[in-house]
Structures are given as C-alpha cells and as structure tokens.
Amino acid sequence: MVMASALIVFYSVFAYQHEKAEYAKESVSELKAITQVLENDYATLVLNGAPNLREELLRKWQQFPVLEHADLAGASGQTILHYSKSAQAHQNIQLVEPDTIKAVDNLLLYKSIVVSGDEEVGAVTYAISTDSSEKLLIALKELIVISIPIAFVLAIFLSIWLQSIFVKPLQDLMEDIKDITLKQAYAKTIFVNKADSSEYAEMAKHFNSLLQRMNATLNEVEQSKKVAQELAYYDELTGLANRRLLTEHMEYILDIAIREHRHGALLFIDLDNFKTLNDSRGHAAGDELLKKVAASLKHVFRGVDTIARLGGDEFVILSGQLEDSEEAVINQIHSLMLKLRHVLSEKFIIQGEIYHLTASIGITTFPNMATTPEGLMKQADTAMYRAKEGGRDGYRFYQLEMQTDADAKLQMETDLRHALSANEFKLYYQPQVDEFGRILGAEALLRWFKKDGEMVSPSEFIPIAEMTGLILPIGEWVIKEAFGQLKKWKQADIAPDFRLSINISPYQFDQDNFLETITSLLNETGVSASYVTLEITEGITVKDIHLTIDKMHALTDLGFKISMDDFGTGYSSLMYLKKLPLSELKVDQSFVRDLHVDQSDAEIAATIIAMAKSLSLDVVAEGVEKESQLSFLTYHGCSVFQGYYFHKPMPAKEMDDLLFRNVVVL
C-alpha cells in the first residue's frame, strides 16, 4: 500500500512538472509567433514613433488572451510602449538574455529582440499568466486524494490475494517445519496434496526427502553410538565386560560394600598353557576357545556378577551379590570354584580336535583386603601368580605376605634393569678338571654385584629375569662377554683343548632368532664355536621336542657342543635323550652333595653315569666338595669334575693366574 501511494505521488509530481514544462514551451512558441506577426509594427514604432501605430499595437495585444503584460523598448532600453491586461500596475522586469523564459510572481516572462533588416532596433518583453499550471496542480492534488484510498483498497485486496497464494502456504510449511524441529520428530512427513503442483508443494516434497535422509542418518548415528558404547564397555570377541566397565562396576560395588558393611570377592582367572594352543594352532583356534570359555563362565556365575575379559586369556569376576560376612563370601567362592573346575575340565572341541583346559585363579575379598579397584586387581593378580607357582590348575586366596613377595619381585625387576645399564653384572669362571686337578675347561657363571658391593644370588634374580623377559638382554650380554674372554685366552695361547661352557636359558633358547643372534656374536668376536659348550636344561625339551632337536642340530652344525645341565631333575627327556644331539651330561649337584651318605643319591648318580657311557656321552659332575665324592664318581666312570673341592668360581683375572702361572691347588 505504501508503494502504491508512493507511485501515485511520484507520478503526479512527474506529470505536474511535465505539464508545466510543456505549458512553458507552448507559451514560448506562441509568443514567438506573436513577435513574428507584429515584428514590423514593433520596428516601425521604435523607429518612427507614429501615434496611430501605438493604438493599433495595443489593440492587437488585446487580441491575444494569453498576454498579461507587454513592454516594447528601444535599442537604448527606454520603454516605448507598455501594455497591461488588468488594471493592476505592471512591474517592469528586465531580462538579461533574450529568448529565455523566467517565472516571476506567478508570471512567465519572455524577451525577444526586434530586428529591422539585419539591425537590432529594440526588444519586446511579454508576461503571460501561470493560471493553467496552477489549475493543473489543483487537479493533480484532487487526483492524488482520490487515487490513494482507491490504491489502498486495491492493495489490501491484492495483498490478501497474494497472501492466500504465496504467504499462507509458506507460513503453513514453516509451521510444519517448526513443529518437526521442536519435537525432533524427524520420522514425520509434511502432507502434500497429490493434485498440488505449486512450488510450495515441490518444496514440501523436497523437504520430506530431506527429512527421510536426516532420519536415516540419525538412525545410523544412534546405531553407531550403540556400537561405540559396546566397544567402549564390552569385549569385542567374547561380548563380556571390558576393563572400563569392570572398573565402573567395581567402584559402585565397593561404595555399597563400604557404606553398608557388606562383603564381596574379586576373582582373577588365567588359562593355563593358553599360549601353547595359540602358537601351535593359530589365533583363530585361541579365539574360539576364549569364546567357549566365556560361555562357560556365564553358566557358572550368577547374573548379578560382572564377568569381564581383560585381554588375552585373562578373565575377572566381580561378585555382585554382597554377603554379610567375609566368611560367607569365602564359602560361596569355594562352592563356585567346584563348579568352575568341573566346567573347565570338560572337553573343548576346537577346530575338530579335543582340548583339555585348566586355569589358575587368584581371589581377594573386599572391603577388608582393599577398598579401591586398583588394589583389588593387584591383589587378585598376585594370588593368581601364586596359584600358577603352586602347580597351576588351582586357586589361591590373597594373603598379605603375597604382596610383600610381589613388591620384592617388582623391585628386583627394577634393579635388574638398572644393573644392565649400570654394568653391574660380572662373569666368574669355575674350572672343570680331571681327577688329578688338571684344567680341561671352565663354566661361565653370571654374578651380580650392586654398586654398594652387595652380591645378589643367581637363584634370586635369574627366575625374575626369566619371568620378565630380561633374561634375553642379560643372556646376550653373557654370551658376548664369554666369547670375548675366550678369544683373549686363545690369543694368550691357552691349551688347544680348553673349552668354555655357557648356560643358555630355556626362554632364550626358545626365541625364533636365537640361532641368528649367537651366529652374529660368533662373527662379531671371531671365536670358533668348536671351543664352546652350550649348557641347556631338560625343560627345553618339554614344549616342542621336534623343534628343539632341529635347533640343536643347527647349533652342532655350527661347531658347538651341547651339554644337558642338571640332568635327573627334570621329568620328560629320558625318552628323547638318545634323539638329542648331545655331547655331555652334567650330574646335578643335588645328587652329588649327599651321595656319600645317601644310598638313593648314590644310585641315581651311578645310573646317570652309566647311562651316559652307554650313549657315548661325556659326564661332568657338579658340586664336588669332598674327596669321598670324588672317589665315588671316579670309581663309577666319571672323568670331569667341577666344585669347591678343586676351585671356586673366580673372576677372569684370577682365572688368568690359574691358567698361565701354573698354579696348582691340591
């Protein structure tokens, strides 16, 4: 409506100005025509001043209604004749420029030059009224007053019509969109009449398509959230709770137990020899077993209990049913352990083959033993390792002294790592001699001296090194150091048949790169393998006898001799003894120590020596400390001896003195 009114006013002003200009233009044309008609009269009057011509000219001016005033002036500017249509006095207004028009006091003034021949003899000035333009202005104002209300009415009806066509459908569409947005009802669609082919119908159809895609996307996002939550809280392989969910449940249950003085338990389960299945049949077989174990655990434990898998073959059970006393919890656990062992003892069919399973279980109770998830996990883990040390296939409740042992082992591991970097390890050498004390070789023995001079017994740190894997860098250091010392002795012209024995850890021997490592050390030091005896224990033959035999043959091909250390303390190698490429058996010192007073030890020692002779193996007796032991062993055919009766283990410098200064100990 405002636009229509503005257009009317604009048009009226434009029309007025246009008409006013046209009126002025027409008036000038008319005045020029009057001047042309009367130009001779003007010239004659200016030049001759005839009186009768003055009257005639006034009469002629009167015949032109448009003229209000007229002035005729000579060349000097003096007025010769004046005409005024009305009785009102005429104000003479001089115009500077001829042939121009000027508005003054509701009059339009026009000046024209009077010419006689080619000479300007005077000028005539006309004044015409502007009444016609004023009338036009009044008419236009009346038009505006009438047109604007009409335009308002038309604009209102037009806006209503346009609103019904454009605005109302758009408003309805926006309301539907707003309603869907506020309610987040993205599964909803906007109704569209099939007969409606308007742009808004098309827009609604496109918006419905957008809603469908958005709803599908939101469903996918929601599904992804569920999957992400499952990945965040559940084990992907077994579907059991993972460490994160277990920790949250532990915090919740512990809070209730502490607040209400109730009691519960945490069980840490580790499958025995699971790595063997993984290594022999592959990870797919291991995963299949883990899923079946998870299903078995669900059958044994209650729905309120949290069953979690931490990774690998480790499972944790959190008791969700709190008891009034710790004794009630322990009784309940004993009952559950009977069921669990029965379930795990059943045959598991893995990839078509039967697999028998046992587990080592550590148990701790709360809140008496611990009040934090970290403390409970640490205690249950410690108890589980104690169950493994006790022979596996069993369970142990946590006791305070277990943590003391665990802390000591952890400290030992830390100290071992420091010892490697701080060069605290030393090699001692114990000579191996014949019955007359002549040195035939030596065994390299690892010793650990801390910076404060304290010596740590190998029986204390070797098991920790094997358990933590530190035996690998330590064992490599031992081999390299022993090779280096042997090279020095060979360069110093030691006896050609002198041999150095080096102990090899089962864990070290089992490494896939053991052959490459020892070959590399031979090349690095320049030592010949023919002067080295590698001592292994019976435990090496337990895991994979065929792989062990192949690896031992590869070592003997390099020139090494292989000795079986501590023979007689193991349990599975007798049937394979003749298949192993051995050169030597060592009688364990536990049999030598009491053979002169214990008939059983004497018989075992004699049997081992006889067995070795029958297999054409050399025999070395360890721990010879008394002459009676030497006499017995010599009598039964043992020819090489090692022990305090002859020499204690000694550092390389003392061994040098013994080897090259002909020191004889009787």
CA–CA gap between residue 412 and residue 465 (Å, rounded): 9
Q: Is the pLDDT of residue 192 over 80?
A: no
Q: What is the arithmetic mean of pLDDT over 433-451?
A: 95
Amino acid at 106: N
Is residue 333 within 8 A of residue 265, CB to CB? The reply is yes
User: Which pLDDT does position 435 carry in this prediction?
Assistant: 92
With vertex at residue 604, the alpha carbon angle to CA 598 and CA 607, rounded to the nearest 5 degrees, is 140
User: Which pLDDT does position 201 carry in this prediction?
Assistant: 73
Q: In the predicted model, what is the mean pLDDT of the chain?
A: 84
Count of C-beta atoms within a 10 Å radius of residue 228: 10
Domains in the chain, ordered, with CATH? 2-137 (3.30.450.20), 234-398 (3.30.70.270), 433-660 (3.20.20.450)
Express each pLDDT in 247-259 by its tens digit.
999 999 999 999 9
Q: Is the pLDDT of residue 487 over 70?
A: yes
Under the banding of pLDDT at 50, 70 and 90, the label for residue 132 is low
Express each pLDDT in 366-419 by its tens digit.
998 889 999 999 999 999 998 988 888 889 999 877 777 777 888 899 999 999
Q: Is the pLDDT of residue 228 over 70?
A: no
By percentage, how much of the chain surpasses pLDDT 90? 39
Q: Is the pLDDT of residue 657 over 80?
A: yes
User: Which pLDDT does position 666 carry in this prediction?
Assistant: 47
Q: Is the pLDDT of residue 237 over 50?
A: yes
**Which position has the higher pLDDT, 294 or 154?**
294
Q: In the structure encoding, which two tokens stand for residue 47, read together?
A: 């030049």
Q: Is the pLDDT of residue 550 over 70?
A: yes
Is residue 509 within 8 A of residue 536, CB to CB? The reply is yes
Under the banding of pLDDT at 50, 70 and 90, the label for residue 572 is very low
Three-state DSSP class for 324? Answer: coil
CA–CA gap between residue 154 and residue 663 (Å, rounded): 134
Q: Which of the residue ranges 23-37, 91-105, 493-507, 633-647 would you say has the lowest mean pLDDT?
A: 91-105
SS3 of the chain: helix, strand, coil, percent, to 5? 55, 20, 25
User: Which pLDDT does position 95 carry in this prediction?
Assistant: 61
By percentage, how much of the chain surpasses pLDDT 70? 89
Express each pLDDT in 582-598 by its tens digit.
999 998 888 898 887 88
DSSP H helix total and E strand total for the chain: 21, 22
| Residue 484 CB-half CA count within 13 A | 9
Is 194 buried (19+), middle (13-18) or exposed (0-12) by CB count in 10 A?
Answer: exposed
Q: What is the arithmetic mean of pLDDT over 343-366?
A: 88
CA–CA gap between residue 123 and residue 114 (Å, rounded): 5
Q: What is the arithmetic mean of pLDDT over 162-170?
A: 70
What is the bridge-based pairing of β-strands 532-536 and 561-567?
A: parallel
Three-state DSSP class for 281? Answer: helix
Is 424 buried (19+), middle (13-18) or exposed (0-12) by CB count in 10 A?
Answer: middle
CA–CA gap between residue 203 and residue 190 (Å, rounded): 10
Count of C-beta atoms within a 10 Å radius of residue 605: 25
For residue 561, what are the β-bridge partners? 533
Under the banding of pLDDT at 50, 70 and 90, the label for residue 663 is very low
**Which position has the higher pLDDT, 217 or 230?**
217
CA–CA gap between residue 592 and residue 225 (Å, rounded): 69
Q: Is the pLDDT of residue 135 over 70?
A: no
User: Which pLDDT does position 576 carry in this prediction?
Assistant: 66
Q: What is the arithmetic mean of pLDDT over 153-181?
A: 75
User: Which pLDDT does position 622 carry in this prediction?
Assistant: 93
pTM (2 d.p.): 0.53
User: Which pLDDT does position 535 carry in this prediction?
Assistant: 95
Is residue 359 within 8 A of residue 267, CB to CB? The reply is no
Is residue 580 within 8 A of residue 552, CB to CB? The reply is yes
User: Which pLDDT does position 92 carry in this prediction?
Assistant: 57
CA–CA gap between residue 603 and residue 591 (Å, rounded): 9
Three-state DSSP class for 436? Answer: coil
**Phi–psi pair at 33, nearest 5 degrees:** -65, -40
Q: Is the pLDDT of residue 460 over 70?
A: yes
Q: Is the pLDDT of residue 662 over 60?
A: no
Q: What is the arithmetic mean of pLDDT over 444-468?
A: 91
User: Which pLDDT does position 161 carry in this prediction?
Assistant: 77
User: Which pLDDT does position 222 carry in this prediction?
Assistant: 76
